[in-house]
Chains A and B, each alone.
Chain A
């Protein structure tokens, strides 16, 4: 079942087109990631789905509801954690939860949610004294109060330490187990790879590529990187091996790039047969990060050629 349908969504701020004809669907119990650089239109897109922003054109449905026209009904079925929201100074965790609970007809028990989010002992604490991770968990508690079917998490882990980020990832997977659909806006490719079923990479208001993480990576002709320390080795011969595209030497480390399985096999075989003394061998499969850099590189070269053109005039 489709929980979210977005068809040719366009958002304009004056003359600026922030979102330019974006379409995608999100299925029930899916974790859908939207990634892209700052100003790509991620938040504008999500805010249209959350009923916070009016679309210039296009069609959006969330659990069958029009987010702009049926806002009241919408906020009974979705929960939102907004990008860098703070709360009132001097408000206590319990007070804030109680207030938000009173806004919904059949709210979930905030005591229970605080326990799940490991905030049970912080009910009397001032929100301003919480750590970054605790504050984000509180935002999730508030987002879950309406017993939503879809939650939106916008840059949930930005600014959190690595341990807190990993906690958040586990939490998202737990929430999905409980039947929730999650839309995640993120800067981090490792985060998207860790939790998302499907991903859309956005830039300058458009979706450049979308699909499952494996699909998206597979669509780009990216090379696997095999690297190891072998200070005494003559690296020249490696270039002739099957599947190998390039060989590079960075001081004592040799970096071989090539087609995935073929090149890895050939390099390992070569090292074994010639009794090369090597250590610290790493095989790095291309991931979203590489896809993103590939897309960004394309964009940068395009930008610099324009700049050069302007200088030439």
Chain B
């Protein structure tokens, strides 16, 4: 693999990502705005509904699900299907560069932007509200990256099964909105009735939210092993299917 070219392509794709104001809004601003809204309403005092933790302290790790969903379920599949439809992937095939680099660059850019989105949210919460972090650094980073890859695998599957951009957009929205609103990634799952919580349990992002919250609040990785195993299963199945089904043109 030629790292120099991979890096060049990633930097260029990163610039293009940031020139898209929709990406910038939903990834970099929206999570902070929602936090300001809920934090402004409920403050960060210990609340019984959150098991004695503050609203902001519980929301910040939960919003990881929101941020990962934007890059993984929207940016990644929509960009890949756009590049296929516009024959950009094919154009790269007619060069010494393998089009795999385009995919590597997309993973790189989206992973980086996911981290940046999370950092911005963290900074907002830290400055505006008195955010507490009760976990350990390493488990939180590990669960965050693992969750990101798990949701990215779903995004790849969308790009692989959608025959064109229209279909990819339709599927992405159909997957994205339930993942955003029914999983606790935006509206706390604790506030939902029991039946809705049961429905939420089948959505992958629910498990991202659950695992992130747990390690953020200081519980061990082992305590959320079932959620992580589920994400691992999704990752294996989705990556395998995408690999089988993906078409360059």
Contacts and interface: CB of A to CB of B under 8 A. Distances in A.
B95 to A, nearest CB: 5
A60 to B, nearest CB: 15
A99 B96 contact: no
Interface stretch (A14-22, A86-94, A216-224, A267-275): A86-94
Contacts of A104: 95-96
A75 B88 contact: no
A100 B96 CA distance: 10
Interface stretch (A76-84, A113-121, A291-299): A76-84
B195 interface: no
Among A51, A86, A100, the most chain B Cβ lie within 10 Å of the Cβ of A86
Nearest to B15: A95
Contacts of A85: 86-88, 90-91
Nearest to A78: B94
B244 interface: no
B123 interface: no
B5 interface: yes
Given A75-B94, A75-B96, A82-B94, A99 B83 contact: no
A159 to B, nearest CB: 15
Contacts of A88: 13, 16, 83, 86, 88
A165 B19 CA distance: 33
Interface string B65-100: 000000000000000001100111011011111000
B8 A80 contact: no
A233 interface: no
B87 A86 contact: yes
Nearest to B92: A103
Tier of interface size on chain B: 20 to 34
Contact of B88 (A72, A87, A103): A87
A52 interface: yes
A102 interface: yes
A104 B97 CA distance: 9
A91 B83 CA distance: 13
Contacts of B107: none
Nearest to B87: A85
Contacts of A86: 86-88
Contacts of B95: 75, 100, 103-104
Given A75-B94, A86-B87, A103 B5 contact: yes
A86 B12 CA distance: 17
B9 interface: yes
B171 to A, nearest CB: 20
A86 B91 CA distance: 9
A103 B97 contact: yes
A99 B87 contact: no
A30 interface: no
Contacts of B13: 88
A203 interface: no
B90 A76 contact: no
B14 to A, nearest CB: 12
Contacts of B12: 91, 95, 99
Contacts of B8: 99, 102
Contacts of A100: 95
A80 to B, nearest CB: 4
B132 to A, nearest CB: 40
Nearest to B91: A85
B19 A82 contact: no
Interface in A99-141: 99-100, 102-104
Given A85-B87, A99-B9, A50 B16 contact: no
Contacts of B83: 88
Contacts of A89: 16, 20, 82
Interface string A47-60: 00011100000000
B169 to A, nearest CB: 14
Contact of B16 (A82, A84, A90): A90
A90 B86 contact: no
Among B5, B9, B94, B97, the most chain A Cβ lie within 10 Å of the Cβ of B94
A138 B90 CA distance: 17
Nearest to A92: B15
B90 A52 contact: yes
A52 B93 contact: yes
A76 B8 CA distance: 20
Interface string B1-43: 0001100110011011001100000000000000000000000
Contacts of A76: 96
Contacts of B82: 89
A102 B16 CA distance: 18
Contacts of A103: 5, 95-97
7 contacts: A50-B94, A51-B94, A75-B95, A85-B86, A89-B16, A102-B8, A104-B96
A-B pairs with lowest CB-CB distance, top 4: A86-B86, A90-B19, A80-B94, A85-B87
Given A51-B94, A80-B94, 7 more contacts: A72-B96, A82-B87, A85-B88, A88-B86, A99-B9, A99-B12, A103-B96
